[in-house]
Chain A
Amino acid sequence: MQSNMFTDISLNHYLVLSSILFVIGMAGVLLRRNVIVILMSIELMLNAVNISFIAFSKYTQNVDGQIMVFFVMTIAAAEAAVGLALAVTIFKRFKEVNIKFFEHLRG
């Protein structure tokens, strides 16, 4: 039976969706200059990974994928907290969020 790409939703659809979202996130990290937008793009990439985890978990009938999403979410929240704290500290000090600026920082 020939399966129709538009009406038969399979694992591939979710994987392609996830990869497109991941690539958007990566483009954000590479192209944007605002530190906070870069952090947001990283969140986008993590979400893309989550979609593929959940899709695999459903199509292989295995709960482990959902557990992984759990862990990824925790890490993402922690990463956002630390990233934002750093951004706030730097902004308070230098009034600057452009990533270009940080090239000139010396230890």
Chain B
Amino acid sequence: MTSDVFLFWFLALLIIGSGLAVLLFTNPIYSALSLAMTMVGVAAVFITLQAFFIAGVQLIVYAGAVMVLFVMVLMLFDIKAEVQAFSSGKISGAIKLISVGLLSGLIVGGIIMSQKSFVGEMTKDAVHMAEIQKLKKSTSPDASSKELGMVLFSKHIFGFEALGVLLTVIAVGTVALARSRGGTHHAK
């Protein structure tokens, strides 16, 4: 068992465990902290997949900014553990659970069934080894982040610009929302 394999199973368990914790903790603060843990785990998975730059961005954006915002808002609200954290109703609850189970079964089944076709081709030993060799060559210092920048600013430049516009709109909208007195109702 090499270190890569160990790392994958460890990170997979960590991510799934903390992901479940998000779902199961009744106190939203603990949920948010477990989600932050999941984000860090996902960043580590990105590192094992040799996407170093994206891993760093994941840490900065998700773990460092978005989740801190969540935790801060929860603390401002001062919400203690809820009496009824999960939705009630036997029939609707059962339907939700069944749909979740069906979806998970479909996804996992679909992936395992596809092993023989597209993915099977990819992971054939010879191809796989060639891929690894190629990868080792291409990840010389900075190669991947340089390549990333080249593709981002040439092939995907429209998406990039559109995101810039979107972010501006979001920033203005968020400030407007935060400054408004809230809701369309009049206080009674």
Direct contact between the two chains A and B in their complex (CB within 8 A): yes
- A24 near B108: Cβ-Cβ < 8 Å: no
Main secondary structure, interface of B, reads: helix
Known contacts A23-B103, A31-B87, A60-B122; A43/B182 CB under 8 A: no
B100 (CB) vs chain A CBs: closest residue? A27
Residues A8-38 near B (CB distance < 8 A): 8-17, 19-28, 30-34, 36-37
Out of A59, A67, A73, A107, which one reaches B156, CB within 8 Å? A67
Provide the bound-state CA to CA distance between A74 and B16, in Å.
Answer: 24
| A61 touching B62, Cβ below 8 Å | no
A84 lies within 8 A of B69 (CB): yes
B22 touches A15 (CB 8 A): no
Instruction: Give the size of the chain A interface in residues (CB under 8 angstroms).
Output: 78
Chain B residues with CB below 8 A from A91, complex form: 77
Q: Are B112 and A12 in contact (CB under 8 A)?
A: yes
Chain A at the B interface: SS class? helix
Q: Which residues of B contact A14 (CB under 8 A)?
A: 45, 49
Do the beta carbons of A88 and B76 come within 8 Å of each other?
yes
Instruction: Classify chain B's interface size.
Output: 35 or more
Contacts of B185 in A (CB 8 A): 93
Identify A33's interface contact among B46, B84, B147, B159, CB under 8 A.
B84
Q: Is B79 positioned at the interface, with any CB of A under 8 Å from its CB?
A: yes
- Which residues on the B side are within 8 Å of A60 (C-beta)? 122
Residues 47-90 of B, flagged 1 when their CB comes within 8 A of A and 0 if not, give: 00111011001100110011001100110110100101111000
5 A-B pairs within 8 Å (CB atoms) are namely A19-B107, A47-B62, A58-B51, A67-B156, A93-B181
- In the complex, the 7 A-B pairs of residues with the closest C-beta atoms, listed nearest first: A19-B107, A93-B182, A23-B104, A85-B177, A78-B170, A30-B96, A89-B182
Binding site for A on B (CB under 8 A): 1-2, 4-5, 8-9, 12, 15-16, 19-20, 22-23, 28, 31-32, 35, 38-39, 42, 45-46, 49-51, 53-54, 57-58, 61-62, 65-66, 69-70, 73-74, 76-77, 79, 82, 84-87, 93, 96-97, 99-100, 103-104, 107-108, 111-112, 115, 119, 122-123, 125, 131, 134-135, 138, 144, 147-148, 151-152, 155-156, 159, 163, 166-167, 170-171, 173-174, 177-178, 180-185, 187
